[in-house]
């Protein structure tokens, strides 16, 4: 089987790469990194105009109609260029509505997310270590009362997808009664996080949220892994830290899915990619990596949190074994 990227996928990555080089030079990254807000609205507008706000959303709702694999390819380029912004949370919010929402909810929210009229995010984490759907304790219903932490760009989002008890999902608008946001310190200042507090806050439940929540979690793991993989070449001996803003060890910390939730990082060195990883070889010969992203679309149940970091680091630099495992996995899926 051919695991190479298609011409369209190569063009997609090259387009994002050129945008990052032209619109997000090191001094702009540094300014965002050091700023209090941590969010550049013009930079995000440019990414949305490229169609990155809704890559996997069907074109009938204003999206590009592509797949999770294409979203991961974009995340890889953004990670390589250290582009700050709410791509992760916004992408996951769109997928949550797409997979868990009713037809009416999709028609209402997806076009606004795709156009950039609304900025979306997810709020899954509770406490220091609970962000899996089966661990959520915030009670659902017509209103929400409780606290979520480590929400990516939670202080800037217009629409928040909240994980509720039993693995459900609910939508909360930014100006909803009883919602307050408090910025939290984080290791990665290119991806700001916030604590969200709900006090009898009105919400809108997603009818298929229970079935969708695990898929959204898995999509988050795929995007985080792709982002960190993109930053891996800069950690090679003699590699270039393009952003000059912070060590790419920060990107590596995103491999820790249980650190403090999606978007929060408990320690830069914990779970960081092996510094001996030959990223170039992995990029062009690690067919199993790309195949595994396809699996995330077709069989999300096969992509568990514990699988992401060990499998990528183990096979990325050893192409023959990776191809063999990929072939066996393909036969099993058939």
Q: What is the structure's pLDDT at 303?
A: 37
pLDDT at residue 40 greater than cutoff 90:
yes
Which has more pLDDT, 267 or 99? 99
Class of the CATH-defined domain 1-118+214-334: mainly alpha
Per-residue pLDDT tens over the stretch 267-321: 333 334 443 344 444 444 444 344 334 333 333 343 333 333 333 333 333 333 4
What is the mean predicted confidence (pLDDT) over 47-62? Answer: 94
3-class SS string, the chain:
CCCCCCHHHHHHHHHHHHHHHHHCCHHHHHHHHHCCCCCCHHHHHHHHHCCHHHCCCCHHHCCCCCCHHHHHHHHHHHHHHCCCCCHHHHHHHHHHHHHHCCHHHHHHHHHHHHHCCCCEEEECEECCCECCHHHCCCCCCCEEEEEEEEEECCCCCCEEEEEECCCEEEEEECCCCCEEEEEECCCCCCCCEEEEEEEEEECEECCCHHHHHHHHHHHHHHHHHHHHHHHHHHHCCCCCCCCCCCCCHHHHHHHCCCCCCCCCCCCCCCCCCCCCCCHHHHHHHCHHHHHHHHHHHHCHHHCCHHHHHHHHHHHCCCHHHHHHHHHHHHHHHC
Q: Answer with the residue of higher pLDDT: 246 or 147.
A: 147
Global pTM reads 0.75
Q: Tell me: the pLDDT tens digits for 126-136?
A: 987 788 999 99
189-239 pLDDT, tens digit per residue, is 889 999 999 999 999 999 999 999 999 999 999 999 999 999 886 555 444
Provide the pLDDT for residue 133.
96
């Amino acid at each position: 089987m051919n695991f190479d990227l298609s011409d369209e996928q190569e063009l997609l990555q090259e387009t994002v790469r050129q945008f990052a080089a032209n619109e997000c030079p090191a001094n702009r990254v540094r300014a965002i990194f050091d700023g209090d807000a941590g969010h550049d609205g013009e930079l995000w507008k440019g990414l949305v105009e490229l169609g990155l706000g809704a890559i996997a959303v069907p074109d009938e709702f204003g999206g590009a109609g592509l797949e999770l694999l294409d979203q991961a390819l974009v995340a890889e380029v953004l990670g390589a260029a250290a582009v700050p912004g709410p791509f992760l949370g916004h992408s996951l919010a769109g997928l949550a509505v797409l997979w868990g929402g009713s037809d009416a909810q999709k028609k209402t929210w997806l076009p606004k997310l795709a156009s950039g009229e609304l900025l979306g995010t997810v709020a899954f984490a509770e406490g220091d270590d609970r962000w899996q759907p089966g661990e959520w304790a915030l009670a659902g219903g017509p209103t929400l009362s409780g606290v979520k932490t480590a929400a990516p760009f939670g202080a800037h989002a217009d629409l928040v997808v909240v994980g509720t008890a039993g693995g459900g999902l609910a939508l909360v608008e930014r100006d909803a009664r009883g919602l307050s946001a408090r910025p939290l310190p984080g290791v990665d200042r290119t991806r700001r996080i916030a604590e969200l507090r709900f006090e009898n806050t009105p919400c809108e439940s997603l009818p298929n949220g229970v079935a969708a929540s695990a898929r959204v979690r898995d999509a988050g793991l795929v995007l985080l892994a792709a982002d960190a993989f993109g930053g891996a070449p800069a950690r090679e001996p003699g590699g270039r830290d393009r952003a000059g803003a912070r060590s790419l060890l920060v990107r590596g910390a995103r491999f820790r899915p249980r650190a403090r939730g999606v978007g929060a990082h408990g320690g830069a060195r914990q779970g960081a990619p092996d510094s001996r990883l030959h990223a170039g070889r992995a990029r062009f010969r690690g067919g199993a990596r790309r195949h595994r992203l396809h699996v995330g679309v077709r069989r999300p149940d096969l992509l568990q949190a514990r699988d992401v970091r060990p499998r990528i680091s183990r096979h990325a630099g050893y192409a023959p074994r990776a191809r063999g495992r990929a072939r066996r996995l393909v036969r099993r899926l058939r």
